[in-house]
Amino acid sequence: MDWRARTMSLLLLGFVRLLTGAQARWHGCPPKAEQRIYFANHQSHADLVLIWAALPQELRSITRPIAAKDYWTASRFKHWITSAVFNAVYVERERKGDEDPLAPLIAALESGDSLILFPEGTRGHAEDPQPFKSGLYNLARQFPDVVLVPAWIHNVQRVMPKGEVVPVPVLCSVTFGEPMKLGADEARADFLARARSAVMALREI
Amino acid sequence: MRSFLRNLSPDEQVGLLFAVLFGLLLLASVAGILLSLRERRHPDPVTGGRTPRLQDFQALLRNSWLMALVFWVGWAAGDGVAIVLFGLVSFLVLREFISLSPTRRGDHRSLVLAFFVVLPTQYALVWTQHFDLFTVFIPVYVFLAIPVVSALANDPQRFLERNAKLQWGIMVCVYGLSHVPALFLLTFPRFAGRMAFLVFFLVIVVQTCMLVQHVVARRLGDPVAPAISESFHWRSWLAGLTAGGLLGSALAGLTPFKPATALAMALVACAAGSLGHLVMKAIKRDRGVPHWGSAGRSVTGASGLLDRVDALCFAAPVFFHSVRWTFEL
């Protein structure tokens, strides 16, 4: 990280903590430097920033969030902040040609990084998360040794609802649950439903 | 002794006050550590660890350290910093209050207004000593402005309830608390530079009242409103008032008051603070949480900041205005 990115990351951390507290609640597992995929509900663009801020410093540097390429590279600033500060992995939301949309994630996992994934694919506006997309299943199948950690992000949609520009201070927290494993012959739909309910179960803790 | 104290400059007097205060806190902390060591050797058979009593004591001690530090920083760094510090505390407690009062999307702009316009304006009014405007700004102008912004958001669902919550949050967390630093800026004849004593007087009297009330309540059954507070009894309340009032008249020498006036002022502040604490408890019960703070179920077990300052939020405005009316400042 160059000094600009480091300054930005410190400023951003202070700002996020002042607005939301960005509290991490390690409910089902301790924060640990092993290769993990954190998967969480997605209600706001700020989700990415919040989960990044909630992780401890040591884990933040080895954990890369996934960012939608069309949104986060739209302006030079967004592009810079996601690549230099968050070290994000970009994915295409729309499939183009026969390119595998998971290829950048696979590359990141192969190089030993942990990932933050929002398996709904897009921001939801309902109480419950939308059905999960199959990316999580495919990654779990290909990387059986990577630990899958469900997480629930509380309250972020209240900080900055869609269409607003000024964030409002509301306490937010990220609850990390017990790691789950893909069964040996578990079907795709079963696994995705189980993952979704593991995320939703953390809402009430 | 007396003449020695008289000969000190106001600054030295306040400095001495803080030295005594921190000394007492230090003694209490050492006692707490010794007690916890003893309990570790003889663990409680029921809980297997620290007894609730010791936990209460330690929580209270942390609380007192925090308050003493805040006031010391506020005094040492000057009125401006004290105002900014209390503004920050206001911000944090309003954040806790709003987090536990569900808002809808239509409230977003009202919340922006509350946090980023109303709060800074209120403290700016304290800073610039516009006391007449500062006492009516929130109850008169903001009272209208917030629902107007909410109405423009075009969402009628639970409109009155949502606005009432927001108004309440602003009244308690911003309006109430802003009266503490406002005390620094009152100008008493022949008392210049020593207004920190008045703030200290308010805080110590209210805290003592709460503490005595809490300790006495433990020995009583039959709370007045068991659904709201297990620890509120008229007898413990009177005991708290008595303790606060007596301490107040004993501390009259620190303040511009005569002993009888100090007693009356202390009673007013204690009554407002302890009843306000009860009201905040009722709001917590309504939300179904034991403490303010992160969703009321923080992993660390620490309670929220609002739990620590709520009595002060109610006591400060009443105390401030009682002082102003009585002395026609």
- B147-160 tens-digit pLDDT: 999 999 888 888 99
Q: Which two tokens stand for residue B179?
A: 């009266």
Q: How confident is the model at residue B299 (pLDDT cuts 50, 70, 90)?
A: very low
pLDDT in tens, B245-293: 999 998 888 788 888 999 999 999 999 999 999 999 898 888 777 777 6
- Give the whole-number percent of chain A exceeding pLDDT 90: 35
Cross-chain Cβ contact A171/B95 below 8 Å: yes
Query: Mean pLDDT, to the nearest integer, of A129-146?
Result: 90
* Tokens 């659904």, located at residue: B227
Mean pLDDT estimate for chain A = 87
Residue B313 has pLDDT above 90, yes or no: yes
Residues B136-159 as b or e (16 or more Cβ within 10 Å = b)? ebbeeebeebbbebbeeeeeeeeb
Q: What per-residue confidence (pLDDT) applies to B25? A: 87
Q: Cβ of A113: how many Cβ atoms within 10 Å?
A: 17
Query: Mean pLDDT, to the nearest integer, of A160-175?
Result: 85
Please provide the size of chain A in residues.
205
Partner B contacted by A158 (CB < 8 A): yes
Asked if residues A41 and A118 have their Cβ atoms less than 8 Å apart, the reply is yes
Cross-chain Cβ contact B108/A168 below 8 Å: yes
Q: Which two tokens stand for residue A25?
A: 């609640």
Partner B contacted by A166 (CB < 8 A): yes
pLDDT in tens, B67-115: 778 778 777 777 788 888 889 989 989 998 888 887 888 888 999 999 9
Q: How far is CA A116 from CA A10, A31, B104, B158, B245, in A?
A: 20, 14, 28, 37, 57
Query: Closest to A169 (Cβ–Cβ): which among B91, B105, B299?
Result: B91
Q: How confident is the model at residue B301 (pLDDT cuts 50, 70, 90)?
A: very low
Cross-chain Cβ contact B111/A168 below 8 Å: yes
Q: Which two tokens stand for residue A147?
A: 């630990």
With beta carbons under 8 A apart, name residues in chain A contacting B108: 161, 164, 168
Cross-chain Cβ contact B108/A164 below 8 Å: yes
Instruction: Name residue A175's beta-bridge partners.
Output: A25, A152
Q: Which of residues 40-69 of A touch B (CB under 8 A)?
A: none
Sheet strand arrangement including A63-68: A23-26, A173-176, A147-154, A36-40, A114-117, A63-68, A89-91
Instruction: Name residue A152's beta-bridge partners.
Output: A175
* Tokens 């649950």, located at residue: A177
Nearest-neighbour CA in chain A from B207: distance (Å)? 27
Per DSSP bridges, beta strands A147-154 and A173-176 are antiparallel
Q: Which of residues 2-41 of A touch B (CB under 8 A)?
A: 21, 23, 25-27
Pure H helices in chain A: 3-20, 46-54, 57-60, 69-72, 76-80, 103-110, 135-142, 156-159, 188-201
Q: Which two tokens stand for residue A119?
A: 């398996």
Q: How confident is the model at residue B296 (pLDDT cuts 50, 70, 90)?
A: very low
Q: What per-residue confidence (pLDDT) applies to B298? A: 45
Query: Closest to A158 (Cβ–Cβ): which among B103, B115, B116?
Result: B103
Residues B173-211 as b or e (16 or more Cβ within 10 Å = b)? bbbbbbbbbbbbbbeeeeeeebbbbbbbbbbbbbbbbbb
Residues B234, B31: Cα–Cα separation, whole Å: 31
Report phi then psi at B234, rounded to 5: -60, -35
pLDDT in tens, B40-76: 666 555 544 456 667 667 777 777 787 778 778 777 7
Cross-chain Cβ contact A166/B112 below 8 Å: yes
Q: How confident is the model at residue A204 (pLDDT cuts 50, 70, 90)?
A: confident
Q: What per-residue confidence (pLDDT) applies to A127? A: 74
Per DSSP bridges, beta strands A23-26 and A36-40 are unpaired
Cross-chain Cβ contact A170/B95 below 8 Å: yes
Nearest-neighbour CA in chain A from B300: distance (Å)? 9
Task: Say which residues have a Cβ less than 8 Å from residue B289's Cβ, sequence separation at least 6.
Answer: B100, B295, B296, B297
Nearest residue of B to residue A25, measured between CA atoms: B299
Task: Give the dihedral of Cα atoms B52, B57, B59, B60; nearest 10 deg.
Answer: 140
Q: Cβ of B114: how many Cβ atoms within 10 Å?
A: 26
Q: How confident is the model at residue B186 (pLDDT cuts 50, 70, 90)?
A: confident
Residues B125, B186: Cα–Cα separation, whole Å: 13
* Tokens 């000593």, located at residue: B129
Residues A182, A192: Cα–Cα separation, whole Å: 10
- Give the whole-number percent of chain B exceeding pLDDT 90: 32
Report phi then psi at A10, rounded to 5: -65, -45
Q: Which range among A140-149, A151-160, B79-88, B177-186 has the greatest average pLDDT? A: A140-149
Nearest residue of B to residue A174, measured between CA atoms: B294
Partner B contacted by A169 (CB < 8 A): yes
Cross-chain Cβ contact A25/B299 below 8 Å: yes
Residue A194 amino acid letter:
R
Residues A169, B147: Cα–Cα separation, whole Å: 19
Q: What per-residue confidence (pLDDT) applies to B53? A: 66
Q: What per-residue confidence (pLDDT) applies to B112? A: 92
Q: What per-residue confidence (pLDDT) applies to B45? A: 53
Nearest-neighbour CA in chain B from A161: distance (Å)? 7
Pure H helices in chain B: 2-7, 10-41, 52-76, 79-99, 108-113, 119-127, 131-136, 143-152, 159-170, 177-184, 195-217, 234-250, 259-287, 305-327
- Give the whole-number percent of chain A exceeding pLDDT 70: 99
Chain mean position to CA B119:
17
Q: Which two tokens stand for residue B201?
A: 């007087």
pLDDT in tens, B198-246: 888 898 899 889 888 888 888 777 788 888 887 788 989 999 999 999 9
Residue B319 amino acid letter:
F
Q: What per-residue confidence (pLDDT) applies to B52? A: 62
With beta carbons under 8 A apart, name residues in chain B contacting A21: 95, 294
> Is the ipTM reported for this complex over the cut 0.90?
no
Q: How confident is the model at residue B174 (pLDDT cuts 50, 70, 90)?
A: very high
